[in-house]
Amino acid sequence: MATDPIVIVGGGLAAGRLAAEYRESGGEADVTILTAEPDPPYHRPPLTKGFLRGEQDRDSTLLQPLPEWEEAVVEIRLETPVEAIHPDEHEIELTGGERVPYGTLVVATGARPRPLQIPGADRVGVHTYRTLADAEAVSAAAEEAHSAIVIGGSFIGSETAASLRSRGLAVTQVEMGPTLMPQLRCPDLSAQLVELYRAEGVDVRLETQVEELTGNGRLLTGARTDDGETVEAYLAIVGVGVEPNVELAQEAGADVDDGIVVDERFRTSLQDVYAIGDVARYPDPTSGRQRRIEHWSNADAQGAHLGRQLAGSRAAYDELPVFFTQLFGRKLQVLGDVERAAECVLRGSLTEGRLIGFHLDEGGHLVGAVVHGESADVAVELEELIRRAVVFDDPARLLDGNLRPADAVVA
């Protein structure tokens, strides 16, 4: 059990869950969270959903208010950027030169939005979308803007496009690929999402790129696409992916490969230094491969597990990756490692209100699934089948809506 000071660099969900779970598990060491943000740890999923639609206020996004952190004897230093890690001295150097000693260091620096490298990307009205401050700025801008352009068809782009359209804005969504939400690895479902978005009034433009964000002076007024068209927009959301914030750990000598490389206990290559959340590339216990996952449930689970571990638990990390998205009232839950799929067999549809996408690898093993409108026990059953990497005797049988998933498994 750690008794020397625990210092956490980064103030996101993973950091907050670690600190809270450590205290709840009986950990007694001093805990300090150093975050460059002006807010204590908060949940990011509401930022593109309920908060942007005006259904939630900022306080409801917080993991817990500052007074509760004080009661838990967790020090949170807001607006405190970290300049360097000095592993030999077991110290953190803050901007300005202050040194903070640690016994255990946890790097939970997350990721940052990838910038858009086109003319006009710096105009007033153009926003990336990552922080609570970003969400507040976009929400305020949406009060005045009648039209918006969303650049990107992944999670951030699709969720913000849906929420802005729900607020009554005219929304154009531009995606350079052939479909929306390609990360779902289920072409039939992605095609249904395109139909849904267009039915809801979003002008979805696929295989299209924005070449310039145009304006009047510094103010955004529109975008010019590679097919020569001009789209009116007084608000732009850039959702073209994120990059892990590995620089602090890398400069300190940690192994880095699309994230900070950690072992099964989230230890980096540096002594007494751990990494969790969006920035960590860890060995997924279900698939057996190194992964870096950028979703709420992953940060939540890893933070909680490491908190218990630092308080003395020896339990192995065995969480199955799970995440969800919400698009025009449809909640899609994604289970397992869909990136490994060679085929997605889709049963049901968004129109029916129920669906399961079975993600199979080349050998027919179930490696992931996407679920909408099914009961909780179906999701639990699918999770167990994914853990067991079951093989289906005939994938076509999965289309029978009367079958439970387990009924189609090879005995």
pLDDT at site 393: 77
Distance CA 14, CA 296 (A): 9
Query: What gap in Å lies between CA 379 and CA 370, rounded to an integer?
Result: 9
Residue 370, strand partner residues: 334, 357
CA distances to 79, 100, 102, 344, 349 from 82, in Å = 10, 10, 13, 44, 48
Each residue of 269-307: pLDDT tens digit? 999 999 999 999 999 998 889 999 999 999 999 999 999
91-110 pLDDT per residue, tens? 999 999 999 999 999 999 99
At 2 the pLDDT is: 55
**In angstroms, rounded to a whole number, what is the distance separating the alpha carbons of residues 39 and 353?**
38
Architecture of domain 115-238: 3-Layer(bba) Sandwich (3.50)
Residue 392: band (very low, low, confident or very high) from pLDDT cuts 50, 70, 90: confident
Going by their DSSP bridges, the two strands 330-336 and 366-372 should be labelled as antiparallel
- Surface-to-core class of residue 9, CB atoms within 10 Å of its CB (0-12 exposed, 13-18 middle, 19+ buried): buried
d(CA 276, CA 259) in angstroms, rounded, equals 10
Q: What is the pLDDT of residue 407?
A: 83
Distance CA 396, CA 22 (A): 47
Architecture of the domain made up of 6-112+242-310: 3-Layer(bba) Sandwich (3.50)
Q: Which of 306, 262, 305 is nearest to 284 (CA)?
A: 262
The values of phi and psi at residue 40, to 5°, are -70, 175
Q: And the tokens for 190?
A: 């992605």
List, for residues 231-271, the tens digit of each pLDDT value. 999 999 999 999 999 999 999 999 999 999 999 999 999 99
Residue 214 pLDDT class (50, 70, 90 cuts): very high
Cβ burial 348-360 (10 Å sphere, 16+ → b, else e): bebeeebbbbbbb
Output the pLDDT for position 7: 98
- Hey, what's the torsion of the CAs at 208, 211, 216, 219, to 10 degrees? 80
User: Domain coordinates of the chain in residue numbers?
Assistant: 6-112+242-310, 115-238, 329-408
* Band of residue 409 on the pLDDT scale cut at 50, 70, 90: confident
CA distance 62 to 47: 11
Is the CATH number of domain 329-408 3.30.390.30? yes
pLDDT for 140: 96
Mean residue pLDDT across the chain = 95
- The pLDDT assigned to 202 comes to 98
pLDDT at 341 over 70: yes
Structure tokens at 235: 């608000």
Decide whether 115-238 matches 329-408 in CATH topology.
no
pLDDT > 70: percent of the chain: 99
pLDDT score of 394: 82
Q: Which of 397, 296, 320 is nearest to 356 (CA)?
A: 397
For 56-96, what is each residue's pLDDT tens digit? 999 999 999 999 999 999 999 999 999 999 999 999 999 99
Instruction: List the structure tokens of 150.
Output: 């969303």
- Residue 256 vs residue 395, higher pLDDT: 256
HEC secondary structure over the chain: CCCCCEEEECCCHHHHHHHHHHHHCCCCCCEEEECCCCCCCECCHHHHCCCCCCCCCHHHHECCCHHHHHHCCEEEECCCCEEEEECCCCEEEECCCCEEECCEEEECCCEEECCCCCCCCCCECEEECCCHHHHHHHHHHHHHCCEEEEECCCHHHHHHHHHHHHCCCEEEEEECCCCCCHHHCCHHHHHHHHHHHHHCCCEEEECCCEEEEEEECCEEEEEEECCCCEEECCEEEECCCEEECCHHHHHCCCCECCCEECCCCCECCCCCEEECHHHEEEECCCCCCEECCCCHHHHHHHHHHHHHHHCCCCCCCCCCCEEEEEECCEEEEEEECHHHCCEEEEEEECCCCEEEEEEECCCCEEEEEEEECCCHHHHHHHHHHHHCCCEECCHHHHHCCCCCHHHHECC
Question: What's the pLDDT score for residue 137?
Answer: 97
In this predicted structure, the answer to whether residue 411 has a pLDDT above a threshold of 70 is no
